[in-house]
């Protein structure tokens, strides 16, 4: 047991300490590096004018953008209809300053050049033949309005390029539809026996005096031309027919194109080769306006035809009887093959109703011997389309080709107007919207109105899609319109500038008025009553509601296409703010849907509910606590003018990025200066002063030079001054934040925070001038602005900002304020100066020092534990005084009872002289025997109790008491006395366990020791 107790415990974990030290060094390294910029920006208002539909967009995790600072702001706008009636303007304002610029035109594909118009080009003709050598292209002004009058719209010039040469022609946009058609005749030498292709492109040019209102043109457009497509040049165009079976043996073939008034056309009857009847009668019934002029057999040697006409009041009936004229010769063709045997000629009368296409029905009935009885009475009606115009195509004109579905967020349907026009031969356009039919190919994405004049989304659609199709048809003409629908991905993202709102130490604001003061109350009593009605100010946070918009693939895949990109979000705050609310209005409130105001401690959430189903579209948890935070400093930015720059973004044709910055040059005489303020709190959050009510801010501005600044009240700025004089050096301004005047009593007269800024370029880095005492001993001037303010810090741009705390007060005034403070009941604790901000390097050093202290503490605790364990397991030393016994209880874990009894039997019958033994009883009344005292330096002599029981070798637990031996030399044993061992021999397994604790781990040493034990026993 001695060796077991002496086993040394493990020391502190060296790898763990190394890891902690490495982490501490990494913290120090990171602290030395430049941290991320503070989320501050110039709180100037950026807004788009004359843009009917637009959104603010931002990238995930990049708000504000990287190029924003205390003196600059950048925002990106998405114009979904970037070409309205008037040119859009972007206005930047920070009262009393404002500036604006015209939004630059979009970049056209594929050369990314700005163009002033958004034009859609549709090729009407797929192919051209020598009989119809025309290429027709419809140009439409998409997604925009235009002022009335023909002089405002441009011309579109079509360019056809072929290896044999080039051809050009232009058209001018018509104000009624905002469209025009170019019909370009291709030269005859471009056509060859083999099919070729001609490439089509177009350019836009201003209107001019000339044929059609466009210039002569004819020059090579080069890279400025925008592609349209190509047209195939065929040597001939096969005729277009439609075949309709009259019965199993006879088939009718009719033309599949509209016919013109006065036009003569033919219909053919085809017989199968195995037709055996000798007589065939064809009865044709037509309405007025259509006449059957002749019936001509295709094979006069085989068939003869007779024509009879019967006129009626409404219908004309023509009876054609065909007789077989001769026998049918041998024919090697297939019996089921069709062959022409009769041609029937028709003539259309002149004049149709209003020039619109109409149909003329023709009823066909066939009779011949051997015909099936059920087919004798069958009649087939064929409708012949008749039109005074040669209509070439039906084209839908949509105001936009993409739609942002905000209906699930607002409950207001979104519509895109559609107009259907026909393109005639010659380039004429006719609107036929009221005569068409339509259907959406995917109603879960996009719907179409019953009048077919618009496509729309109502908020019940489940998803978006790219290239969703809407079909339109009018008589025999069909057309399709493809649009992209962007749908919001729910839930909404609610972004808060601070999710935990805390009380601001020392900032008290007036409580809401509960009633009008009594007229007879004195002014002092009214001031005291108002001061008692002040309450602590909680922090405020800005709120933004964001959503990504995406389109699903039409094939049902999972890969989404995102508007602008997967890391872009649209700001939909202006849409969902009316439907946003705080779940517990006692804890917080929303002001204007953009500012979150803390009211009392608690936990709640902001949620947006759907106006259609009352379901939750988005939710964000927040907390309002009674923990105190301090305003560390004011970050001040002087604004003496605004600069604005606009640029087009590559992410989307309608993306516009606006960058606004503050101009802070050396002021001129009577120069008005607005001050932008940011509040920096001790919880490492920043907030612009615009989040707080102007009546809750007490701000004062002072300068070191007499009469340098004057307050600029009533000029539009929340906090502004007028520089009364001009100098060649920069002028420092000191800004202090106080509670509002009604709550500025006692300790609350001390400024909450201060900041310094420079008008003009600041001097070399020298200590900032101290704020002069307001007692009048300094010639500095101060301009106080009660109930208004902004926040403070360091300057972006050319101006410099220096923040500090102004706490200079006279001793007598401080004592007076302290006396007033002690007399107030229910006031908050004494205001203390806000602590200095700890730098990153200091944070790293403190972390390293704490880790080293923790390591030392672990080492000491480990040492104490080691000492306690060693003392607890060490056998006691021999007592120097035999009169002071120190008994100890030991546990015997032996198993060999015979060896134990044999050792006890070898002991003398009585105790030796000088021994002190303590007899014990074992429950069975057996006699105790004492072993002789061991030599000096060995443990005390044990007094063992042995008890023999029947039952073989089993593990037993024996309690043995040791008594300390006297320090005297052991007595000499008589000669011939047997040797007595001081160690009770137990089982071999127990001895091995003890030997291992004594350090005998080598197998050879252990074997020798066991042999000595056995020999001695």
Rounded-to-integer distance, Cα 850 and Cα 856, Å:
10
Most confident segment among 302-311, 793-802, 975-984: 302-311
Largest separation between any pair of C-alpha atoms in the chain = 168
Torsion of CA 558, 564, 567, 572, to 10 degrees: -100
Q: Identify which has the larger pLDDT, 561 or 767.
A: 561
Average pLDDT over residues 740-764: 78
Contact 320, 306 (CB under 8 A): yes
Q: Is the dihedral of CA 518, 519, 520, 521 positive or negative?
A: positive
Residue 7 has pLDDT above 50, yes or no: no
In SS3 terms, 45-111 reads as EEEEECCCCEEEEEECCCCCCCCCECCEEEEEEEECCCECCCCCEEEEEECCEEEEEECCCEEECCC
**Coil, strand, or helix at residue 870?**
helix
pTM: 0.66
Average pLDDT over residues 944-968: 44
In SS3 terms, 251-294 reads as EEEEECCCECCCCEEEEEEEEECCCCCCEEEEEEEEECCEEEEE
Question: What pLDDT was estimated at residue 991?
Answer: 63
Residues in Cβ contact with 278 at an 8 Å cutoff, skipping those fewer than 6 apart: 323, 324, 369
Residues 873-888 pLDDT 10s: 555 554 445 444 444 5
Residues in Cβ contact with 913 at an 8 Å cutoff, skipping those fewer than 6 apart: 971
Residue 798 has pLDDT above 50, yes or no: no
CATH number belonging to domain 399-488: 2.60.40.3440
**Coil, strand, or helix at residue 619?**
strand
In SS3 terms, 662-729 reads as ECCCCCCCCEEEEEEEEEEECCCCEEEHHHCCHHHCEEEEEECCCCCEEECCCCCCCCEEEECCCCCC
Taking all residues of the chain, what is their mean pLDDT, rounded to a whole number?
A: 75
Question: What pLDDT was estimated at residue 787?
Answer: 41
Contact 214, 158 (CB under 8 A): no
Lowest average pLDDT, out of 200-204, 462-466, 503-507, 728-732, goes to 728-732
Residues in Cβ contact with 861 at an 8 Å cutoff, skipping those fewer than 6 apart: none
Residue 520 has pLDDT above 90, yes or no: no
pLDDT band at 933 (very low <50, low <70, confident <90, very high): very low
Rounded-to-integer distance, Cα 412 and Cα 223, Å:
44
Residue 147 has pLDDT above 80, yes or no: no
Rounded-to-integer distance, Cα 139 and Cα 119, Å:
7
Beta bridge mates, 46: 92
Q: Is the dihedral of CA 609, 615, 619, 621 positive or negative?
A: positive
Closest CA to 182 of 249, 233, 248, 137: 137
Residues 808-840 pLDDT 10s: 333 344 444 444 444 443 444 434 444 456 678
Question: What pLDDT was estimated at residue 529?
Answer: 52
Average pLDDT over residues 247-254: 87
Rounded-to-integer distance, Cα 711 and Cα 701, Å:
8
Q: Does the structural domain 259-386 have CATH classification 2.120.10.30?
A: no
Q: Tell the residue number behind the tokens 């075949």, with chain if given.
A: 243
Question: What pLDDT was estimated at residue 482?
Answer: 93
Residues 376-408 pLDDT 10s: 667 888 888 787 778 888 999 988 888 999 999
Residues 682-694 pLDDT 10s: 999 999 999 999 8
Q: What is the CA radius of gyration of the chain?
A: 52
Contact 419, 397 (CB under 8 A): yes
Residues in Cβ contact with 920 at an 8 Å cutoff, skipping those fewer than 6 apart: 928, 943, 945, 961
The CA-to-CA distance between both ends of the chain, in Å, stands at 21
DSSP structural state of residue 250: E
Q: Does the structural domain 118-233 have CATH classification 3.40.50.280?
A: no
Rounded-to-integer distance, Cα 878 and Cα 864, Å:
25
Lowest average pLDDT, out of 62-76, 678-692, 733-747, goes to 733-747
In SS3 terms, 6-20 reads as CCCCCCCCHHHHHHH
Contact 988, 1013 (CB under 8 A): no
Residue 363, CA distances (Å) to 269, 287, 512 in order: 14, 9, 87
Pull the structure tokens for residue 333: 């063709």
Q: Identify which has the larger pLDDT, 247 or 624.
A: 624
Residues 420-453 pLDDT 10s: 999 988 888 888 877 789 999 999 999 999 999 9
Rounded-to-integer distance, Cα 683 and Cα 687, Å:
12
pLDDT band at 767 (very low <50, low <70, confident <90, very high): very low
pLDDT band at 94 (very low <50, low <70, confident <90, very high): very high
Q: Is the dihedral of CA 805, 806, 810, 813 positive or negative?
A: negative
Instruction: Indicate the domain borders of the chain.
Output: 1-35+838-874, 118-233, 259-386, 399-488, 493-513+526-629, 632-637+669-823, 888-908+929-967+979-1016
580-582 and 549-551 beta bridge pairing: unpaired
Give yes or no on whether 259-386 and 399-488 have one common fold. Answer: yes
């Amino acid at each position: 047991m001695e060796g077991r107790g002496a086993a040394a415990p493990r020391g502190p974990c060296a790898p763990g300490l190394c890891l902690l030290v490495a982490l501490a060094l990494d913290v120090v390294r990171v602290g030395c590096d430049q941290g991320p910029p503070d989320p501050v920006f110039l709180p100037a208002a950026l807004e788009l004018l004359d843009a009917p539909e637009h959104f603010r967009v931002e990238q995930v995790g990049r708000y504000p953008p990287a190029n924003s600072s205390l003196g600059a702001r950048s925002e990106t706008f998405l114009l979904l209809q970037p070409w309205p009636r008037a040119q859009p303007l972007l206005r930047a304002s920070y009262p009393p300053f404002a500036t604006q610029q015209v939004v630059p035109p979009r970049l056209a594909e594929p050369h990314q050049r700005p163009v002033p118009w958004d034009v859609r080009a549709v090729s009407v003709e797929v192919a051209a033949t020598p009989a119809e050598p025309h290429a027709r292209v419809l140009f439409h002004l998409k997604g925009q309005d235009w002022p009335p009058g023909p002089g405002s719209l441009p011309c579109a010039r079509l360019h056809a390029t072929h290896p044999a040469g080039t051809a050009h022609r232009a058209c001018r946009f018509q104000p009624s539809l905002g469209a025009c058609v170019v019909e370009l005749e291709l030269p005859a030498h471009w056509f060859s026996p083999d099919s070729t292709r001609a490439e089509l492109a177009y350019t836009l040019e201003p209107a001019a005096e000339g044929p059609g209102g466009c210039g002569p043109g004819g020059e090579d457009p080069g890279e400025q031309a925008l592609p349209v497509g190509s047209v195939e040049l065929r040597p001939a165009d096969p005729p277009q027919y439609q075949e309709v079976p009259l019965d199993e043996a006879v088939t009718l073939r009719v033309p599949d194109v509209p016919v013109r008034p006065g036009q003569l056309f033919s219909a053919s009857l085809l017989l199968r080769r195995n037709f055996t009847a000798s007589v065939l009668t064809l009865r044709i019934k037509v309405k007025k306006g259509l006449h059957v002029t002749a019936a001509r057999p295709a094979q006069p040697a085989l068939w003869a035809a007779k024509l009879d006409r019967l006129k009626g009041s409404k219908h004309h009936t023509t009876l054609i009887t065909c007789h077989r004229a001769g026998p049918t010769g041998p024919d090697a063709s297939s019996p089921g093959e069709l062959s022409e045997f009769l041609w029937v000629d028709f003539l259309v009368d002149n004049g149709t109703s209003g020039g619109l296409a109409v149909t003329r029905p023709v009823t066909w009935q066939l009779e011949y011997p051997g015909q099936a009885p059920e087919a004798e009475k069958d009649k087939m009606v064929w409708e012949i389309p008749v039109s005074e115009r040669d209509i070439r195509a039906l084209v839908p004109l949509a105001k936009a080709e993409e739609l942002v579905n905000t209906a699930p967020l607002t409950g207001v349907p979104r519509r895109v107007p559609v107009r259907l026009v026909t393109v005639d031969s010659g380039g004429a356009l006719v609107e036929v919207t009221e005569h068409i039919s339509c259907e959406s190919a995917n109603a879960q994405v996009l719907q179409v109105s019953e009048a077919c004049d618009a496509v729309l989304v109502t908020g019940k659609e489940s998803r978006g899609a790219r290239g969703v199709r809407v079909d339109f048809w009018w008589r025999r003409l069909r057309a399709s319109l493809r649009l992209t629908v962007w749908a919001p991905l729910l839930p909404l993202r609610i972004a808060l500038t601070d999710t935990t709102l805390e009380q601001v130490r020392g900032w008290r604001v007036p409580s809401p008025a509960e009633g009008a003061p009594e007229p007879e109350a004195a002014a002092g009593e009214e001031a005291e009553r108002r001061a008692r009605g002040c309450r602590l100010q909680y922090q405020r946070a800005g709120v933004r509601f964001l959503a990504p918009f995406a389109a699903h693939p039409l094939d049902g895949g999972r890969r989404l296409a995102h508007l602008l990109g997967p890391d872009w979000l649209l700001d939909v705050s202006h849409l969902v703010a009316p439907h946003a609310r705080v779940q517990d209005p006692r804890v917080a409130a929303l002001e204007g849907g953009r500012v979150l105001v803390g009211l009392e401690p608690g936990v709640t959430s902001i949620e947006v509910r759907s106006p259609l189903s009352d379901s939750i579209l988005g939710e964000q948890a927040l907390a309002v606590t009674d923990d105190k935070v301090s305003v560390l400093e004011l970050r001040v930015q002087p604004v003496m003018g605004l600069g604005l720059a606009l640029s087009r973004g590559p992410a989307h044709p309608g993306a516009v990025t606006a960058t606004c910055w503050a101009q802070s040059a050396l002021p001129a005489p009577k120069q008005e200066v607005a001050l932008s303020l940011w509040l920096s709190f001790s919880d490492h959050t920043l907030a612009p002063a615009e989040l707080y009510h102007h009546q809750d801010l007490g701000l004062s501005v002072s300068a070191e030079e007499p009469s340098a600044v004057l307050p600029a009240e009533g000029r539009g700025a929340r906090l502004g001054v007028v520089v009364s004089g001009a100098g060649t050096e920069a002028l420092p301004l000191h800004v202090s934040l106080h509670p509002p005047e009604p709550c500025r009593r006692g300790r609350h007269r001390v400024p909450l925070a201060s900041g310094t800024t420079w008008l003009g370029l600041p001097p070399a880095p020298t200590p900032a001038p101290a704020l002069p005492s307001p007692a009048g001993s300094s010639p500095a001037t101060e301009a106080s602005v009660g109930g208004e303010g902004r926040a403070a810090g360091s300057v972006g741009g050319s101006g410099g900002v220096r923040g500090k705390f102004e706490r200079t007060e006279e001793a007598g005034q401080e004592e007076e304020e302290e006396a007033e403070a002690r007399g107030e009941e229910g006031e908050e604790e004494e205001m203390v100066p806000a602590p200095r901000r700890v730098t990153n390097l200091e944070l790293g050093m403190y972390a390293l020092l704490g880790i080293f202290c923790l390591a030392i503490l672990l080492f000491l605790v480990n040492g104490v534990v080691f000492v306690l364990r060693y003392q607890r397991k060490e056998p006691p030393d021999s007592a120097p005084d035999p009169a002071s016994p120190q008994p100890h209880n030991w546990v015997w874990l032996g198993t060999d009872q015979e060896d134990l009894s044999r050792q006890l039997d070898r002991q003398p019958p009585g105790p030796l002289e000088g021994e002190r033994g303590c007899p014990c009883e074992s429950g069975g009344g057996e006699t105790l025997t004492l072993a002789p005292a061991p030599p000096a330096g060995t443990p005390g002599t044990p007094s063992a109790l042995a008890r023999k029981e029947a039952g073989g070798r089993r593990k037993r637990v024996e309690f043995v008491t040791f008594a300390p031996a006297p320090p005297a030399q052991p007595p000499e044993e008589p000669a011939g006395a047997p040797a007595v061992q001081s160690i009770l021999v137990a089982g071999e397994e127990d001895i091995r366990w003890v030997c291992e604790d004594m350090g005998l781990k080598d197998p050879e040493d252990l074997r020798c020791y066991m042999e000595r034990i056995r020999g001695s026993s």
